[in-house]
Structure 1
Amino acid sequence: MERLAGRIMLLWGWPRAILAILAGALGALALPPFGFFAAFFVSFTVFVWLMDGTTGHPNGGLFSRARSAFFLGWLFGFGYFVAGLWWLGNALLVDAEEFAWALPLAVFGLPAYLALFYGLAALVARILWSDGLGRIAALAFSFGLAEWLRSFVLTGFPWNAIGYGAMPMPIMMQSAAPLGIFGVTVLAVFVFSAPALIGTKKGMGLGLAVAALLFCAHFGFGYWRLHGADAAVAAASKDPIEVRIVQPLIDQSRKLDDNERHSIFEEHLTLSALPPQNGGKRPDVIVWPETSIPFILTDNPDALSRIADVLQDGQVLITGAVRAENAGVGFAPRYYNSIYVIDSQGQIISASDKVHLVPYGEYVPYEDLLRQVGITDAIAMPGGFSAASTRSLLTLPGGRSFYPLICYEAIFPDEIDDSVERTSALLNVTNDGWFGATPGPYQHFLQARIRAVETGLPLIRSANTGVSAFVDPFGRVVEGMDYNQKGVIDSTIGSIPVAHWYAHTRQSYFWLVMVVMLSIAAISRTSFKFKKN
């Protein structure tokens, strides 16, 4: 191992750059649908050894070393994000004549931008770098900082944070409850990087012991939580309601065809009216995916009447739809990506609009400037969508409420506000049909499952083409339907949560872990400089 570490440290030029990219790309195997978390052990071990060899120009001083480290981190991140996000290009091929030109921007441009955060991580780590355990702590701190920044800078895009690679199964998801995804990320980077100590020997015994302890604690805490999970879920299943998820499997090209609108609407209604599965009770709530209704519902009273014809007394439909709002004389209407709750009389009794829109998918940042150079939304709605200023809970008859997360809103843990404490379930409606049979829908599903663990709430997830599922508060799939399947799934949702985990608690633990890692790195760095002098 020492010989291998030495050879990697001494690499220079293109071999060094290519290895950094490959190390990052290898890490993507830890993500869905593969879930091979051991890949990160190799990925980060190689990255640490590459960082050890980051010297910069002999006469360049600190700036040269920092620049070299930043570029190394960028290469590592570029490999990771290209391998993990290449499927985004599939959305542009749905209407290839219009948007195929932007394929390189999606496949390489976005990863190039996201890699800047990993470049920053490497730069910060290099400033704190030492010759033993401290450099592993420095890397954990810097990647935690980078992933946290990535969650909100320029609207944020925390997709595929490193911590998700450490949570491929429910027993490994439970650490997210107290720590959140960013806290898990910090500790995961520490553990994944620890094998690098074998190649350099310095701090090896203590470092590997701490990493092994953290790894065992990760599994042990998961085992402890899941051991009492069934009893906790049973205790929370008071005043249950029956919920049906509809997965209609509508091809995206059909959704863009005006001539298909009526048949798409009827397909949803037909699935909704199917008899209960396995002789169970009829559903009280029926859930359709994001933008299921292919027209402005409030402009089509006949559609509301048709829904009322299908729903039985007391049933309600929750559906994604586009909502139009009159902006006044002389102004174009505003459009919102919304969720409606419709009762058996065909009345809209509750609604919620999407708060966090997809840049370049649902709106164009700096729109006036970019439209001049031909960059427009990847949607058919004139002018794009408008964002809601606040999130509204979806209130059902009887006072029960769901917390709505439309599409990729489910990837932003810190945007779930305190009103979630008043709800009995998370509701995620989405349309991942844009991305085809790629890793994208599975990555999205994992991130939504982690939100259930973090909040201590069950998750109801309806996706047009999959993955749709009922997920319990421990991230376990109760009932589900895989990608590219058509049908319905029925399950029961209780009225009270298993346990609410508060966002401020997770944030406090995240920063506590960050302070611990920074302290170890700083002490090691100080000691390292003292020894050199």
Structure 2
Amino acid sequence: MPHFISNLIFLDGWRRHGLAFVAGAVASLAQPPLALFPLLWVCVPLLVWLLDSASLGKNFKASAWAMAKVGWLFGFGFFLVTFYWLGAAFLVEADKFVWALPLAILLLPAGLALFWAMACGLSAWVWSASPLRVIWLALALSAMEWMRGTVLTGLPWGGFAPALASNSVMMQALALVGPNTMTLFAVLLFGLPVFLFGDHQNRRLGWQLATVTGLLFIAQLTYGAYRLAQPMPQQDHASVVRLVQPNIPQVEKWKFENRSWIFNRLIAMTTLDSEETPVDSVDLVIWPESAIPFYLIEDPEALATIARALPEDTGLITGALRRERSEVGGETVYNSIYQMASDGTVLSAYDKVHLVPFGEYLPKQSWLKAIGLEQLTAQKSGFTAGTNRRLLRDANLGTILPLICYEIAFSDEVQAFPEGADWIINVTNDAWFGATIGPKQHLHLAQMRAVESGLPVIRAANTGVSAIISGKGQILHQMPLETEGIIQGKLPSKLPITLYKQWGNWIFASLWAFLYIATASIRRKLR
């Protein structure tokens, strides 16, 4: 092993850079749906040893730049494999957008990798042969991952935290510390071979750090097994929900001539009655994001049809477009959720707050439109973001936290909703991405939010994966990808408030500061 590490450290040029890219690409496979997280016990040490190689520059500036390049190439490989499926969206209207496909596939990973480049470059300030360099890398990378989820509207999708929460036992720790702390710990845990195979001078410290890290991992697994073994809270009456997965191809969804059959399919699936799924027992029907391909509340006939389809005392929650017209002829369009009573009355609405850049709106729209760019959505003027994070309320179903599409990726923003929700509803349309890993990654993010909050997540997706998820992140029912059908099941009970829900990212900030101070103190003593 020492010989292998020495060979890595003396790599330079394209060999170092090529290995960094490959290691990052392989590391991406640690995330769901493949969930091959043991790969990180190879890939993270490779990153550290390649950074060792890059740190051997003639001066600090050269070393920092070389380490940043290694970090960027590792991150570029990681995010390229993580987000390759975004290219499928540009093939829906290939005649208009296929030219942008290479840019989308390459530019997004390249931009996200800059955060990892900054983490590795900043680590040059404290880099040494000591095992403490793994801790410094963990501190820098977790801080930059928090920034990746925040800067320029943020994109906290993917990373080491989903890998460390890739199965139901390991993900229970999210209820205690949340995803940012999981990222911090993941670098330490998967950097464990660096602790064990350090040079002789630092062997004792390395084994001490490896022991502490190993014990923390055992504690994570023990807590996960314990939490899963706890009985669910009892309910006096469990409401029954029906999720409709119509499986409408994106290329067909917004054609004017398809409006009737799409709406009729939704109605038919809402009224479907069988011995296994009796419609009269349903308390709430849920349709996916933008399920209705027209402005629903402007169509009295459609509202009347919905009223005839719903059994008495059965509500409907559906994704739909909503618009407001101004007196001068302009209009503002929102990507919304409608909450409806059984008589077709609209009780409440929620407008999506966090829109997808370039998908639902163009940043600096006037500038980008001037050079021929437009957003992917069929709404050519783009959507307007909602301003009010509000809960939906129902006398029988309790209080509902509504999230549209990738809003469920943002743990911090879920925390920002008002308190008091009993469950989370997530409506989405992943038809853009076909039978790729994207919709399955999206489902796993919903599981993570369920564990963090202790709230069940009810997920209705146009083409899948629709699911009923418990507050422990366990999938109780699901409909496979690219399948038409319904899920009918009882609404799981919510769990007691989690530690992470109570304290949020204060936990991450406190642990980060403690680890920084402790590591700096040990470094001073060693010097």
TM-score, normalized by the shorter chain, greater than 0.5: yes
Residues 400 and 495 of structure 1 are in contact (CA less than 8 Å); yes or no, is this contact kept in structure 2?
Answer: no
- Match status 1:6 vs 2:6: yes
SS in 2 for 1:361: coil
2: CA distance between counterparts of 1:416 and 1:242?
24
Residues 134 and 520 of structure 1 are in contact (CA less than 8 Å); yes or no, is this contact kept in structure 2?
Answer: no
Q: Deviations over 1:391-449 (max 9, x none)?
A: 12122244722100100000001112454532210100001110011110111111111
Please state how far the C-alpha of 1:194 moved relative to its aligned partner. Answer: 1.4
For structure 2, the residue ranges without an aligned partner over 5 or more in a row are none
The corresponding residue for 2:296 is 297
1: CA distance between counterparts of 2:370 and 2:393?
42
Q: Deviations over 1:235-272 (max 9, x none)?
A: 2x233211111111111111032211110111111111
Please state how far the C-alpha of 1:302 moved relative to its aligned partner. Answer: 0.7
Q: Deviations over 1:87-132 (max 9, x none)?
A: 1001001111111111112111000000000011112222222322
Q: How does 1:40-439 map to 2 (within 5 A)?
A: 40-55=40-55, 57-58=57-58, 61-201=59-199, 202=202, 203-228=205-230, 231=231, 233-235=232-234, 237-275=235-273, 278=276, 282-326=281-325, 328-398=326-396, 400-417=398-415, 419-439=417-437
1: CA distance between counterparts of 2:207 and 2:500?
36
SS in 2 for 1:146: helix
Residues 158 and 411 of structure 1 are in contact (CA less than 8 Å); yes or no, is this contact kept in structure 2?
Answer: yes
Residues 315 and 343 of structure 1 are in contact (CA less than 8 Å); yes or no, is this contact kept in structure 2?
Answer: yes
Match of 2:490 among 483, 489, 492: 492
Residues 177 and 506 of structure 1 are in contact (CA less than 8 Å); yes or no, is this contact kept in structure 2?
Answer: no
Q: Deviations over 1:301-336 (max 9, x none)?
A: 11101101100111111000000111x233520000
1: CA distance between counterparts of 2:399 and 2:338?
13
SS in 2 for 1:289: coil
**Are the structure 2 counterparts of residues 464 and 179 from structure 1 closer, same or farther at C-alpha, using a change threshold of 3 Å?**
same
SS in 2 for 1:511: helix
Please state how far the C-alpha of 1:345 moved relative to its aligned partner. Answer: 1.0
SS in 1 for 2:333: strand
- Match status 1:463 vs 2:465: no
Q: Deviations over 1:201-251 (max 9, x none)?
A: 4333112212211211111110111111xx2x242x233211111111111
TM-score normalised by the chain length of structure 2 = 0.96
The corresponding residue for 2:32 is 32
Please state how far the C-alpha of 1:474 moved relative to its aligned partner. Answer: 0.4
Residues 456 and 493 of structure 2 are in contact (CA less than 8 Å); yes or no, is this contact kept in structure 1?
Answer: no
1: CA distance between counterparts of 2:493 and 2:181?
30
The corresponding residue for 2:521 is 523
The count of aligned residue pairs is 522
**One-letter amino acid of the counterpart of residue 227, structure 2:** R
Residues 55 and 124 of structure 2 are in contact (CA less than 8 Å); yes or no, is this contact kept in structure 1?
Answer: no
Residues 393 and 402 of structure 1 are in contact (CA less than 8 Å); yes or no, is this contact kept in structure 2?
Answer: yes
SS in 2 for 1:474: coil
**One-letter amino acid of the counterpart of residue 309, structure 2:** V
Q: Select between 479-488 and 127-136 the one with higher mean Cα deviation.
A: 127-136
Q: Deviations over 1:40-82 (max 9, x none)?
A: 1111010010111123642xx2222111111111111000000
Q: Deviations over 1:366-386 (max 9, x none)?
A: 111111111111111131000
1: CA distance between counterparts of 2:275 and 2:478?
13
**One-letter amino acid of the counterpart of residue 22, structure 1:** V
2: CA distance between counterparts of 1:23 and 1:374?
37
Tell me which of the two structures has the higher relative contact order, counting C-alpha pairs closer than 8 angstroms and 6 or more residues apart: 1
**One-letter amino acid of the counterpart of residue 284, structure 1:** D
SS in 1 for 2:355: coil
The corresponding residue for 2:471 is 473
Residues 246 and 268 of structure 1 are in contact (CA less than 8 Å); yes or no, is this contact kept in structure 2?
Answer: yes
**Are the structure 2 counterparts of residues 495 and 169 from structure 1 closer, same or farther at C-alpha, using a change threshold of 3 Å?**
closer
Match of 1:449 among 447, 450, 453: 447
**One-letter amino acid of the counterpart of residue 458, structure 2:** I
2: CA distance between counterparts of 1:523 and 1:113?
34
Residues 471 and 494 of structure 2 are in contact (CA less than 8 Å); yes or no, is this contact kept in structure 1?
Answer: no
2: CA distance between counterparts of 1:399 and 1:432?
26
**Are the structure 2 counterparts of residues 13 and 495 from structure 1 closer, same or farther at C-alpha, using a change threshold of 3 Å?**
closer
SS in 1 for 2:468: strand
**One-letter amino acid of the counterpart of residue 52, structure 1:** D
1: CA distance between counterparts of 2:397 and 2:39?
47
**Are the structure 2 counterparts of residues 178 and 496 from structure 1 closer, same or farther at C-alpha, using a change threshold of 3 Å?**
closer
Residues 30 and 38 of structure 1 are in contact (CA less than 8 Å); yes or no, is this contact kept in structure 2?
Answer: yes
Q: Select between 32-41 and 395-404 the one with higher mean Cα deviation.
A: 395-404
The corresponding residue for 1:507 is 505
Residues 174 and 500 of structure 2 are in contact (CA less than 8 Å); yes or no, is this contact kept in structure 1?
Answer: no
Residues 277 and 490 of structure 1 are in contact (CA less than 8 Å); yes or no, is this contact kept in structure 2?
Answer: no
SS in 2 for 1:53: helix
SS in 2 for 1:329: coil
| Percent of pairs with identical residues | 37
Please state how far the C-alpha of 1:504 moved relative to its aligned partner. Answer: 5.4
Q: Deviations over 1:327-374 (max 9, x none)?
A: x23352000000001111111111100000000000001111111111
2: CA distance between counterparts of 1:404 and 1:383?
24
**One-letter amino acid of the counterpart of residue 289, structure 1:** P
**Are the structure 2 counterparts of residues 219 and 85 from structure 1 closer, same or farther at C-alpha, using a change threshold of 3 Å?**
same
SS in 2 for 1:358: coil
SS in 1 for 2:172: coil
Q: Select between 90-99 and 396-405 the one with higher mean Cα deviation.
A: 396-405
Residues 178 and 454 of structure 1 are in contact (CA less than 8 Å); yes or no, is this contact kept in structure 2?
Answer: yes
Note the aligned Cα RMSD (angstroms): 1.7
**Are the structure 2 counterparts of residues 501 and 345 from structure 1 closer, same or farther at C-alpha, using a change threshold of 3 Å?**
farther
2: CA distance between counterparts of 1:54 and 1:277?
66
